[in-house]
Structure 1
Amino acid sequence: MTANSRREAIPILAAALLLAGCSEDKPTPAEKAAAAAVPGAPPGGAADVAAKNAPASNVKESNDLIEFAYSYPRDAAAIPELAAWLDGDRATKRDALIAAAQRDQAAAEKGGFPYRAHSHLQAWQRVTSTPRFLSLSAEIGTYTGGAHGMTNFDTLLWDRNRRKQLKPLDLFTSGEAFDAAIRDSFCDGIKRAKAAKGIVADEAPDSVFAKCPPASAQTVWLGSTDGRYLDRMTIAIAPYEVGAFAEGSYKINVPVTGALVRALKDEYARDFLPIN
């Protein structure tokens, strides 16, 4: 099976590669609007987003066994410790993909059924850069031979003051404090996002999707509107977390409020700017 035919068979994974692509065309009004929805997007719109996220490292591999892609932007490449970690993460993800693919290929040959190439497509994007933090987001498309592929997300912060990699939740006193500070706006945001897709939130007591999940169990992206303070936040939710696979993923924008800032560890409070 060729790489082209695999992408036709699993378009959800091929679509993930768009994260790493950059168009040289003048951005359309729709593209500008989409760029404005990205937490911490620069005011220039889609063109500036593309320039900031032009990958400094972009590794791709495609053959009958696997399809692999992993990229990260120049802001990350400029930090030697972070670039080394990303290179190591890339190697780990590729090795795991090959090991699983070889195991399933052998099983397919033994069982006399077709093998479907496995995929891991991951693109790190710059969300924002402040004097203290570089914030990155990642969307990951995977396929392991089943009925469909899967989309997942990742996040990281590089703390320039401590020269250390963090997760956004590391900045808060606890996951419980973080959840309590944003629960209402997060859960209301899910309902609005579902309604925008024409989906009525399932509130039946026996439904697995009846309850709003804790935001701390999802992927948190921190952004900035002014390049100085963290004042924007998006919660990325993978398929199956709040609805059936057909609903796809959700990206819920949640305001940075005073209540959220009060849930921070003292050393990070000065790096945030609440809306009230």
Structure 2
Amino acid sequence: MRGGGLLPAAVLALGACSPAQDVAADNAAANVAATRFADRMAGAPPPAPPAEPFEEEEKTDFLEFAYAYPAQAAAIPFLVDKFGKEAASSKADALKMAREDSASAKRSGYPFRPHSLETRWTVAADTPRFLSLQSQTYVYTGGAHGMTGYDGLLWDKARKRETSIKAVMTTPAAFAAAIRDRFCAELDNQRAEKRGAPVVRGDDDFTECIDPMEQLLVPASKDGNLIDAVVVVIGPYSAGPYAEGSYEVRLPVDAAMRGAIKTEYQDGFVVAR
């Protein structure tokens, strides 16, 4: 009888406590969920959208201007700032020159020819260690023809800073010794192809082998894994007459070239197969 009397009392007690416990449990669960959500939002913000290539183009009565760089550069704040300042400065200088030329032409009674300044950066190598960029700039200031110039930039991803191809060499002299013979032979091959006849040595830069270290050296990669070549970019008038245009001499990395790279950078270069 005692047992039978206790069971209904226990059931009533449980029934009386259940709603309060349910509310407390619901509140606790909601608090935990809110806390986890806040922690997740604070500790792991949503990923930034992928960088987009940059291009600025503007055409006025005085100047046709363009400046562009690829998405790989747009993803690096340092390069965005560097290129932004370079674009603004070069545009301002070119526009000033064009306005002055226009005023001078008007005073002299000559027709004014609008100027042009176009710079475009492209990717030569995008490896785990390096981002190598090359630019081509076309400048026209009203003369018989425009001129094309080149520049390069090497970004060390491991150290998160700008460097240069010469900074990764043991010494420029050692690197020059490692590439000179191959460079001269390939340059003459390209000269002969453009001229339709073998190169005959003379006493001018159009027949002699020029110094590759005075030209633009651009690290390059075919597969995006390691630097497997260095391209020597030679502008008009440096290795041949204007009509021959520019030259690009691609030198695959060999043991001698890799040996002229500082030890701490050699893991970013590979001997081409």
Matched ranges for 1:87-126 at <5 A: 87-126=84-123
The 1:183/1:65 distance shift into structure 2, 3 A limit, reads same
Partner SS state of residue 177, structure 1: helix
Relative to total residues, which structure has the larger helix share, 1 or 2? 2
2:62–2:98 Cα contact (<8 Å) kept: yes
Counterpart position of 2:263: 266
Deviation at 1:239, TM superposition (A): 0.4
Counterpart position of 2:3: none
Deviation at 1:206, TM superposition (A): 3.3
Partner SS state of residue 270, structure 1: helix
Q: Describe the superposition over 1:96-134 as per-residue Cα deviations: whole angstroms up to 9, x where unpaired.
A: 211221222222122221111111111111122111111
| Match of residue 172, structure 2, among 150, 163, 175 | 175
2:192–2:199 Cα contact (<8 Å) kept: no
Give, in whole Å, the separation in 2 of the partners of 1:148 and 1:255. Answer: 34
TM-score, scaled to structure 2: 0.76
Give, in whole Å, the separation in 1 of the partners of 2:170 and 2:126. Answer: 23
The percent identity for this pair of structures is 38
Counterpart position of 1:213: 210
The 1:55/1:203 distance shift into structure 2, 3 A limit, reads farther
Deviation at 1:77, TM superposition (A): 0.4
Moved more, 147-156 or 209-218: 209-218
Give, in whole Å, the separation in 2 of the partners of 1:103 and 1:72. Answer: 29
Moved more, 160-169 or 115-124: 160-169
Give, in whole Å, the separation in 1 of the partners of 2:197 and 2:104. Answer: 42
Counterpart position of 1:165: 162
Q: Describe the superposition over 1:187-246 as per-residue Cα deviations: whole angstroms up to 9, x where unpaired.
A: 111111122223446545333423211111111221223322111221111100011101
Deviation at 1:57, TM superposition (A): 0.8
Moved more, 244-253 or 200-209: 200-209
Instruction: Give the number of equivalent residue pairs.
Output: 223
1:257 paired to 2:241: no
2:216–2:232 Cα contact (<8 Å) kept: yes
Moved over 6 A (4+): none
Deviation at 1:170, TM superposition (A): 2.1
1:203–1:209 Cα contact (<8 Å) kept: no
The 1:177/1:199 distance shift into structure 2, 3 A limit, reads farther
Partner SS state of residue 61, structure 1: strand
Instruction: Name which one, 1 or 2, has greater alpha-carbon Rg.
Output: 2
- In the alignment, structure 1 segments of 5+ residues that lack a partner are 1-53
Give, in whole Å, the separation in 2 of the partners of 1:239 and 1:201. Answer: 20
The 1:166/1:199 distance shift into structure 2, 3 A limit, reads farther
Counterpart position of 1:10: none
1:55–1:71 Cα contact (<8 Å) kept: no
Deviation at 1:65, TM superposition (A): 0.4
Alignment-mate amino acid for residue 206 of structure 2: F
Matched ranges for 1:1-276 at <5 A: 56-200=53-197, 203-275=200-272
The 1:197/1:228 distance shift into structure 2, 3 A limit, reads same
